[in-house]
Structures are given as C-alpha cells and as structure tokens.
Chains A and B, each alone.
Chain A
Amino acid sequence: MTHSTTKQLITFDDKVVRQFMWASIIWGIVGMLVGVIIASQLNFHQLNVTQWLSFGRLRPLHTNAVIFAFVGNMMFAGIYYSTQRLCKARMASDLLSKIHFWGWQGIIVAAAISLPLGYTRGQEYAELIWPINIAVALIWVVFAVNFFWTLARRNEPSLYVALWFYIATIITVAMLYIVNHISIPTSWTHSYTIFSGVQNALVQWWYGHNAVAFFLTTPILGIMYYFLPKSVERPVYSYRLSIVHFWSLVFIYIWAGPHHLLNTALPKWLQMLGMFFSLMLWAPSWGGMLNGLLTLRGAWDKLRTDPVVKFFIAAVTFYGMATFEGPLLSIRAVNALSHYSDWTIGHVHAGALGWNGLMAAGMFYWLTPRLYGTKLHSIPMANFHFWISIVGILLYVAAMWVSGIMQGLMLNSTNAAGTALTYPNFIETLTAIRPMMAFRIIGGVMYLVGMILMLWNLWMTARSGSPVNETREVAVIERASVDNMRPREAFLADPVTYFLGGLFLLMGWIFLPKGADITALVCALLFGAIAVKKFIASNTTWAQWYDRLLENWLPFTILTFLAVALGGLIQIIPTVMVNRAKNMEDRIQQVYTPLELTGRDIYVSEGCYNCHSQMIRTMLPDVLRYGDYSRLGESIYDHPFQWGSKRTGPDLAREGDRYPHSWHYNHMMDPRSTSVGSNMPSYPHLFTDKFDQKTLPKKIAAMVRLGVPYPAMTDLEIKENAIKQGIEIVNKLKEDKITASPDTQIIALIAYLQKLGKHDTLEAENKLGTYPTTPGLIPGPVNPDKNRPLSGSQ
C-alpha cells in the first residue's frame, strides 16, 4: 500500500492533557482523603458528625471519586496525549475536548454535592441520580466523537495496540452505562431502575464488574502499551501476544459479572458461567502483565534509577497480583468465605491503588516535565513517594486479607455437627477485625501522603518550566489509502465465514437431538478441514484480513463491539425475560405499602446497603445465622435490588418482625444501646425530618409502570394509607413508652424494616418438607435452583 509523503507541521493539543492531569491529581487526593475518613468512621463511629458526612453517604462519594474522578481524568489525560501521537494528528476538535473536560468536572462536582445530600440510585458505582447519568452519557458521546473523529483523520495508517484498548473502553463503557442506568424518574432527584430483583442484580454486576474491566483496566492497559515502551525506550515485548490477549480479554471479561452473586438465588447456570469465565480470565490478564514486564528486557537497570519505570513496573506487578486474586475469589468455594468480607475490599484496593494509582503516578512523572519543557523537580521525592505508596498499599491489602479471612472464617464457623454457630453474635466478628481496620487507616494515610508529595513535586516542576504544546512534522497520508474496507470485505471474509460456520455447526452438535447432533459434529469437522485447507492455500489473505482491519477503525470497532456484546446478551436476555411472578419459584414477595416504599427509599438514600445485605446465601452458616435462605421470588419487586456486596453489619433479609418497633427506634437513635460494640452511625435526623408525601403517588405510579401489582389508589388514598400505617406504628411504640410522630422518617424506615422477608407462599412448606436434609429451613445441597418446579410440572 502506498501512502503520500507530503509533510505537514502539526501542533498537538497538550493543554487538555495538562488539564486532565491536574484534575486527576486533585480529585485523587480528595477521593483518597474521603477514603481515609470513611475507614476511620468504621473504627470511630463518633466521626459520623452529620447526616451529610455519615459513612453510608460518603462511601459512594469515595468510590465514585476514585473511579470516575481520579482514574477517569488520568485515563483521559493518557488517551488525549497518546492518541494524538499514535494518530500523528491533533485531536479533531478543540471545542469537543473543552466540552469533555469541563463537562466531566461538572459531573464530578454534581456528584460531590448530590451524594452527601443522600441523592442516590442505590447501586454500587452507579449511584448518581438520573440527570447526572444523562450528563455522563452526553459527555461520553462528546469524548467518543472526538476520539473516533481523530482516528478518521489520522496520519498513521495502522491502529496501535493502545488504540484498540481505547476503542474497547469507549464502546463498552457506553453500552454498560446506558443499560444499567435505565430508570423511570419520579422527581428531579429520584428514579427507580427498570430492572428488579435478580434482573437488577445481574445487570448491576454485569455493569459493576465491567466498570472494573473497561474503566479501570482496558484504558490503563492502553496507557501501559504506550507509556511503558516510551519510558524504557524499547518496543513492546510481543506484538503478537498483544493481539491474542486483547481479543481474549475483551471477549471474556464481559461474562464474568455473575461471580459477584455466587451462592445466592441467582440461577446456577449463570453462577457457573460467571465462575467459569472468571477463571479463564487468568490467561489474557497475565498475557498483558507479561507483555508489560518483559518490555523491560534489556533495560532492567532503569528500575534502579528511574522513578517512572519503578512506578510502571510496580503497577504492572500489582495488576498481575490482582488478576491472579480475582479468579481465585471467583471460585465458588473460595467466594463462600471471601464474599461480603474485607477480602474483597483488599482485592479492589490492590487494583485501584496498586494498578491504577501507581500507573497514574508513573505517567504523571513522565508527562509533567515534557508538558512543561523542564526537568522533574525532585527525583528523591518521587522515589520517596514510590516507597511510601508501596508500604501503604501492602499494609492496606495485608490488613484486609487478614480481616476478610478472619471474619469469613468466624462467620462460617459451626460446631462439628453443623447444628450451631461458633460465633452467633455478629458483633464478635466485627470486634475481631477492628485492629485490622486500624492498620487500613495507616496504610491509606501513607498512600495519601505520597499523593500529596506528588502534587507538590509536580507543581514545582510545572513552575520551573512553562506549558509546551509539542509541534511535530508528520507525513500526511492520503485519506483513500486507509479506512476503505467495505463491510463485505470486513465481515464476509474467509476468517469470519469459517469462524461463524464452525460455530453454527458446533451449536448443532450440542443442541440437536440424537443422530442429528452427530451429523452436525461430522459437518463441523469437515468444515474445519476445509477451513484448514483454505488457510494453507491462502494464508496471506487470512493475514491480510487482520492487517486491513487495523487500518480501518470502523470495522475494527464493530468487531470489538460484537465481542463485548455477546456475553452480556446471552446472560441478560433470558434473565430479563424470565423474572415474572408467574415463573417464580416457591415464594412471591409481598408488595410494599406506600409507607414501606418510602422507608425503603430512605434506607437506600442513607446508604444502608453499603453495610447490610438482603440476600441469605444457600450456605448452612448463613441460614443458621440469618434464617431461611433467600429465594429468587422474594425480591422481584425490589427496585433496586439489595443483595449487597459487603456485610459490615448483619444481613437483613429476614429482619421483618424479628424485633419490636421500639428496638428499631432505639437502634437508629443509638445503635450501641441495642447492640453493644456496634460501629453503626446514629441517625438523629430521621427522628425529626418528615418523609416525603408529595412524590409518593408518583413513586407508586412508577412502580405500577414497572409491573408491581398495586391496587388502584388515588393520590389522597396513597397519602392516607401511609399516614394510617404510620399511626399504627406510633401506637405500638407508645406501648413501649416511646412518643413519635407518624409522618417522620424513622416511622417509614421501621415500616420497611418490619416488612423485610415477608412473602406469599406457593406450596412452599410442602416442598421444604420433602427434602431429606431439611431440619426446619436449613438447605440441603447448595443449589439455588433446586426449589424451582420441574419443567414437566408447569
């Protein structure tokens, strides 16, 4: 292929890189400071000074700030810098770059205000309210348009590996974010997700897991593929390995979400799929790690002298460690111990602080001198930052490992006969991990100090120079020489045809009835033989197909989209279609009354889900501790689901009617009065603030639209119903000499808590009675599908 050799001087837009870089550092410090505060609140409940700064409201602020503000801005800085160089073109539109930068910062500010005020959707890493969600989607589109437009105007024919990862990031995050955030608004600050129960749990963790995959991993891998070779002045170790590991990674990652729901009521086939694909992720993840580490071949001496290389290599090592640990935690038996414990928190921070944080630091130390045309202010200070960060992370992660395993073992421990818990009091397990929570604070503070040192070092570096926008002479290519692959060439080529044909026949082998399946297998083998013959005869053509794909951004992007979309579709479509009450197993959730629904919204708003789950797993210790294990039908009207991901407090799935109203009243007023040693915050504002009656009819209407079978009620009836139930609760409280007003938030919250676990039964007791291993309500084999009716009985 010939390309024009016309030369042109271009100036890159490095201003936007500088802006994103400083934003990342500042938001990173803010996010990590909030992290230190909430870690301290877990040990010292007195630090929950006001409702706006309580753990439940600050925790989403911490996660969102670190993920979307710190890593997000870092990612954009890296992408804007490297894309321009790899495309040998300035970003297509300065205006779009500006809108992207300021729009993203506006979103962060909106999140920083709305989350402490208690405006949340109640789903992890998807807490932002719907107007902000729309802003995120719009700004992401602005970014995507600018990026792909730049690709289309590039002066380098081929798309380098880093760009593949950026493409995968942009399209996948858009897909995940839009699907997971589809909601019905009830006001400007509140909405209900359209998914409920198991649908919601699956879609949420499809999104949540892949936020880790496609927001915290793939763009950073792209950054690694650009900045690591630059810093060591060596090409990437194996370009071939990068092809295999890219496609394997983007194809496999999307399937792994259900590993967050192991041992729950999620259908077993989905659990197995999640575990299976998580285990397979080991290979492509380590392909990336090895490619990064081995890029340093012949330049290991730089590891001693160059802080940038130190940060990069430590980051890649943490990536390897975290991606080894992730599949390990996805093994169902290991997950039974680790899930709901601090082990998961440690794992996440190995990724966020180790992989993302160190990668960001390495990139910033490399970028700043170049962006300001000067030298780094202090190499010793950068080295000190490195070591204090490493020690901080290790302290943090080790503390969480010990804490998680200890609490997991204590919570799951039973006597030899398996008839009683060794530690029946939840608080015992909480008290045991308190020292580890203190070490976590120390580790977090050390990491934060390192970040502040970096800010100072880079600020001084910037002051010693002045902003530089790099100008470079590039060879301009003829537009017609790239991006000219027609759809027919891209998707009806031999490699695609034989791939899909082989797949189709293999499906026939699996699904066709006896006889026909063997025929399909024979056909598949014959087809494979023809493919091999064709390949041998024209392997050049097959190789050229991929080469051409690399010079055509649109077919490449479509192929990447197909790779990431397939896994999600296979998991989500059957689950979304099946979650109807008539198809549910033995129990159907009772519909919340208007007051209970209001209480649930308050529960979500206060971030109670950050500490309490509402999903009793199909495990003997869980059942002994919390009660009968949760069925799929018990959360079908929950928008959003509350299955949880961490238990700093006990599970609440069977909380209803366990304690009198007065217990909940006192517990919320002063948790230590009812649970000695509890670290839960007090909620004094709930006793004076009134619940929202005005939007209640709209909320019920939204629920009806979502398929919840409420009877027909006028707006007035809805409000009267709420107050009437409130008066009933107040009267009960009076019996225990407690005075309260029926329209306060505490009354609504008590109503919700007392409803938890209530369901209508469909021959449930008969079914339970047939299990030979069932003394009362203890499950037999840990199979969540076992209570579902056989297909023949329908």
Chain B
Amino acid sequence: MYKYVIYENWLDWVPYVAFGVTSLVFFTFSIHALIMRKDRADHLSHLPLDN
C-alpha cells in the first residue's frame, strides 16, 4: 500500500487537507466559544479566584 507513497501526487494535497481539518477544528470551537452563555463563561473564568 505504501510502496510508492512518496512518489504519488496526492501527497501534494496533504497540506491542503491538513489546513481544511484545522479550519474545521478552529471554526467548530469558535462556534462553541461564541454560543457559550455569558454567566457560564464568567463563572468558569473566576474559578482560580474562587476561594
């Protein structure tokens, strides 16, 4: 399966695929961050100060 892997053109696409996956990760978690409730975010960001 991998015998000719370094000679094949599809490897040129790996950076693009990687970029696509990264973008999806970024947008997925950006959406989650944006839709997070404000009170929840405030509560979580205060945890170290919660003595």
Contact = CB atoms under 8 A, between A and B. Distances in A.
Interface of A: 82, 85-86, 156, 158, 160-162, 225-227, 229-230, 233, 235-236, 238-244, 247-248, 251-252, 255, 267, 269, 272-273, 276-277, 280, 472, 495, 499, 502-503, 506-507, 510-511, 535, 539, 542-543, 545-547, 550, 563, 566-567, 570, 573-574, 577-578, 583, 785, 788-791, 794
Given A472-B51, A546-B36, A495 B16 contact: no
Contacts of B25: 247-248, 251, 563
Dominant secondary structure at the A interface: helix
B7 A158 contact: no
Contacts of A251: 22, 25
A472 B51 CA distance: 8
A789 B44 contact: no
Contacts of A160: 44, 47-48
B46 to A, nearest CB: 5
Contacts of A546: 32, 36
Contact of B18 (A161, A230, A277, A539): A277
23 contacts: A160-B48, A229-B48, A235-B48, A236-B48, A238-B45, A243-B32, A269-B12, A269-B14, A269-B15, A276-B19, A472-B51, A495-B28, A495-B32, A510-B17, A543-B37, A546-B36, A547-B36, A573-B2, A574-B11, A578-B2, A785-B6, A791-B4, A794-B3
Contacts of B20: 503, 506, 510
A158 B25 CA distance: 22
Contacts of A276: 15, 18-19
Nearest to A563: B25
Given A269-B15, A788-B7, A791-B8, A235 B45 contact: yes
A370 B9 CA distance: 60
A593 B22 CA distance: 47
Contacts of B2: 573-574, 577-578
A252 B49 contact: no
Interface of B: 1-8, 10-22, 24-26, 28-37, 40-49, 51
A280 to B, nearest CB: 6
Contacts of B21: 503, 566
A543 B15 contact: no
A243 B45 CA distance: 11
B5 A235 contact: no
A507 B17 contact: yes
A248 B26 contact: yes
Contacts of B14: 269, 273, 570
A267 B6 contact: yes
Given A241-B33, A269-B12, 4 more contacts: A244-B26, A273-B15, A503-B24, A578-B5
A535 B27 CA distance: 13
Nearest to B28: A499
Given A86-B47, A239-B44, A251-B22, A574 B6 contact: yes
